[in-house]
Amino acid sequence: MKRFGLVVLGLLAVADLFTPLMTDGDHPPMSIAIGSSALGLLSLVLVGLAWRGKRWPLIPLLTLRIASALLSVPAFFVSDVPAAAVIAAGVSVVATIIGAVAVLLPSRELAGAR
């Protein structure tokens, strides 16, 4: 389950990398798009470290992914946001929750060993 969560969080990070290319400059603003891209790059590094079995990157990774999801929340409240951007924001928030829960669930090997 942990690997599934890392894949989901990694895909979200890759999507964040391309945010500056998908913005019209207003939805999201370019400053948010660039910040999102930076969070995506850092997240990918942490996903790589966590994939190799290191545990310490999990908390910073979850923190970055939650911050990225929070950057998309204004899309639900600001007027004149295109429907596609609202849908993308909703998908990213839901996928972040799914990825975070999957990463935090105890693995079956450890649960069976107790």
How far, in whole angstroms, is CA 82 from its chain's centroid?
21
Query: pLDDT digits over 24-46, tens only?
Result: 878 788 888 899 999 999 999 99
Residues sharing a CB contact under 8 Å with residue 28, sequence separation 6 or more, in sequence order: 19, 36, 71, 72, 75, 85
Reply yes or no on whether the pLDDT at 110 is more than 70.
no
Using an 8 Å Cβ cutoff, are 23 and 33 in contact? yes
CA distance between the termini of the chain: 18
Mind listing the pLDDT tens digit for each residue in 66-101?
999 998 898 899 888 889 889 999 999 999 999 999
pLDDT band at 112 (very low <50, low <70, confident <90, very high): low
Distance CA 108, CA 1 (A): 8
CA nearest to 43, candidates 111, 106, 95? 95
Single pTM value for the model: 0.87
The radius of gyration computed from the CA coordinates of the chain, to the nearest angstrom, equals 15
> How long is the chain?
114
The pLDDT assigned to 9 comes to 97
Phi, psi values for residue 105, rounded to 5°? -65, 140
